[in-house]
Structure 1
Amino acid sequence: MSAAAPAATRVIGVVNVTPDSFSDGGQWLDPELAIAHGRHMLAQGAAILDVGGESTRPGAGRVPEDVELDRVLPVVRELAGEGAAVSVDTMRAAVAARVLDAGAHYINDVSGGLADRDMPRLVAERGCEVIVSHWRGHADVMNGLADYTHVVPEVAGELSARVEAFLAAGVRPDRIIVDPGLGFAKDGGANWELLAHVETFLETGYRVLIGASRKRFLGELLERDGVLALPTYRDRATAAVSALMAERGVWAVRVHDVAGSVDAVRVGSAVRAARRDSLGSSRSEREMT
């Protein structure tokens, strides 16, 4: 009997309920607009919606906990109440507890539990799924922490330590998703190396999330006459990354433009499936001879 086909890569749609996101600059700050945007992403094929109420763009300051909750809770309640699979991008265990009560399914902690040491315990108690990212410091200092000798093994090692913290708190391994944290304390070259060696993270056995969407290193790649491509002009490059990562077998890509990455993931997943079928056929032929 042949092994089951690997699950196709999911597309996670970003719903920023912030006034200062680098990618959409407060476009969805109003809860009703954010909810409508989430519904539109679902109609385009998003499998999960990732709602965030605190910007993590380089240089951004923290917002008070009550402000973050005021931004995200109405959106989470409505979208989860309509049956959407909802993730919340938060570094605070207290916020995580409230959004889980409101119906969220995933906690996306870009700090990997470093910003709030209560996060692993909270996740273990609730039994929810958690995205554990590589991170070295908050947005206002992270650009000064992008110093690596060998970025891939260093990120893998530091991320493994964060996973161990969640395991030690009692989180089940099958509830953990890992994210190498593109753009977080990493320059453009580091981001490309991490993408080129994504198998390092896939080989851990944990599901892997890649969040390249509209990030600065794509703007640098598309630079013309010394001017970086604006965030919304990076969507086609984002889709290219989505196709490449789907072909490698990542669990999900997190994007702002869902439609483009849904199509891109289909392409990458089709190539992956064809390669798998071809390898399977070759193996069967060898066994028959």
Structure 2
Amino acid sequence: MHDPTPLCVPDGASLLHRPDRPLLMAVLNVTPDSFSDGGRYITPEAALAQGRRLAAEGADILDIGGESTRPGAEPVPEAEEIARVVPVIRALAAELSIPISIDTFKAATAEAALEAGARIVNDVWGFQRETRIAEVAARAGAHAVLMHNRPHDAPPCGDIEDEIRAFLSRSLEIAEAAGVPRSRLALDPGVGFGKSMAQNAALCADPGFLRRAFGLPVLIGASRKRLIASLIGDAGKDRDAGTLALHAIAAMEGADVIRAHDAAAHADAMRVAAGLRAARAAGIGAAPGSAP
């Protein structure tokens, strides 16, 4: 069931943090080769229907991407990426009340998407692949998610937390220089991007390490990734139940935004996580005289 109190954000407030519960960012891939749902929503009609469905099922943010980031995916020219995402963003922004995010590291794509109605830039290279994207976000007054990334074939990293902190410190410097306020930013440790399975699991188990380091909201996105298969021990098994379990735990441990492919079950899970977080914070124990 859709949350009866959807995200309504006053001007100047954060689109990437809600004090009462974790936010759900739902994925809409307008690509033929996404690792999870490649080609299913490549036509505008299918993409619009899925965007409406995700919003109706409880998504707080709709994250639209036109280029797959899976290992080995073919690069997409920016003109093609723009042609895939802009019509969908323009149509959905005109009819949905939830904010739309553009999943891209290309400045030109981000600019076109923001002009079409997107309000968040979700950059998997943390403003470091094309630094002009920070200026694009600043001019548009957009929010942004800055993700840590490293090449999939990079040598193993011993202390991944140190590397993530150093990388995102540079991303924040780029954002500040361009004029993007910290109040409009969230950070993503980049689960599945150039990290070992053990490192990915550790990042999901303690998403709060980034908030402790930078004082900013943290996004976790492990939806249907190989990490789930490694944890459940069956690469061929459906990963949705495992994804939901991992994301619920990450939300309990401090994630502010969860990025997932499905909405209905995750929306319920985020409300459950919020309730348990509030109970833990309040230190609620058994009432006197209650049954054990």
- TM bucket (normalised to shorter chain) is 0.7 to 0.9
Contact 1:132–1:179, Cα closer than 8 Å, also in 2: yes
Residue in 2 that maps onto 1:287: none
Q: Per-residue CA shift, 1:250-286, capped at 9, x if unaligned?
A: 221000011121122122111101011227x9xxxxx
Alignment pair present for 1:258 and 2:263: yes
After TM superposition, the score normalised by the length of structure 2 is 0.87
- Which residue of 2 is the match for residue 30 of structure 1? 43
SS in 2 for 1:14: strand
Q: Tell me, in whole angstroms, the C-alpha distance in 2 between the residues paired with 1:119 and 1:71.
A: 19
Alpha-carbon offset, residue 6 of structure 1: 3.0
Q: Could you tell me which amino acid in structure 2 is paired with residue 102 of structure 1?
A: A
Q: Does 2:279 align with 1:274?
A: yes
Could you say which residue in structure 1 is the equivalent of 2:153?
A: 144
Q: Give the aligned partner of residue 67 of structure 2.
A: 54
Deviation at 1:49, TM superposition (A): 0.4
Q: Which residue of 2 aligns with 1:245?
A: 250
Give the superposition deviation at 1:7. Answer: 2.5
CA contact (8 A) 1:15 1:38 kept: yes
Q: Counterpart of 1:218 in structure 2: which amino acid?
A: I
Count of aligned residue pairs for this structure pair: 266
- Equivalent in the alignment of 1:99: 113
TM-score by length of 1: 0.88
1:229 to 223, 236, 251: 236
Name the residue aligned to 1:176: 185
Q: Do 2:149 and 2:193's aligned partners in 1 also have CA atoms closer than 8 Å?
A: yes
Q: How does 1:214-225 map to 2 (within 5 A)?
A: 214-224=224-234
Residue 196 of structure 1 and its aligned partner are, at CA, apart by 2.4
Residue 206 of structure 2 contacts residue 253 of structure 2 at CA under 8 Å; is this kept in 1?
Answer: no
Give the gaps of 5 or more residues in structure 2: 1-17, 286-292
Shift of 1:202: 1.9
Identity of aligned residues (%): 42
- 1:236–1:260 contact (8 Å) kept in structure 2: no
Aligned to 2:91: 78
Q: Distance in 2 between matches of 1:145 and 1:159?
A: 18
Aligned twin of 1:132: 146
Aligned to 2:7: none
Q: Would you say the 8 A contact 1:17–1:29 is kept in 2?
A: yes
Query: 1:238 touches 1:261 (CA, 8 Å); kept in 2?
Result: no
Q: Which position in structure 2 is the counterpart of 1:113?
A: 127
Counterpart residue type for residue 153 of structure 1: D
* Distance change in 2, residues 1:247/1:146 (3 Å): farther
SS in 2 for 1:28: coil
Q: Does 1:199 align with 2:208?
A: yes
3-state SS in 2 of match to 1:186: coil
Shift of 1:80: 0.5
What RMSD over aligned residues (CA atoms) do the two structures have, in Å?
1.6
Greater than 6 Å deviation, 4+ residue runs:
none
Q: Distance in 2 between matches of 1:146 and 1:219?
A: 23
**C-alpha distance after superposition, 1:213-245 (max 9, x if no partner):** 011111122233xxx135xx1111111122112
Contact 1:151–1:193 (CA under 8 A) maintained in structure 2 = no
Deviates more, 1:168-177 or 1:15-24: 168-177
Name structure 1 gaps, 5 residues minimum: 137-141, 282-289
What code does the residue aligned with 1:187 have?
A: S
SS in 1 for 2:101: strand
Distance across 2 between alignment mates of 1:22 and 1:206: 29
Q: Tell whether 2:27 aligns with 1:20.
A: no
**1:164 alignment counterpart:** 173
Alpha-carbon distance, 1:175 to partner = 0.9
CA-CA distance at 1:146 after TM superposition: 5.1
Q: Is the 8 A contact 1:220 1:229 kept in 2?
A: no
Partner SS, residue 119 of structure 1: helix
Letter in 2 for 1:247: M
Residue type at the aligned position of 2:236: A
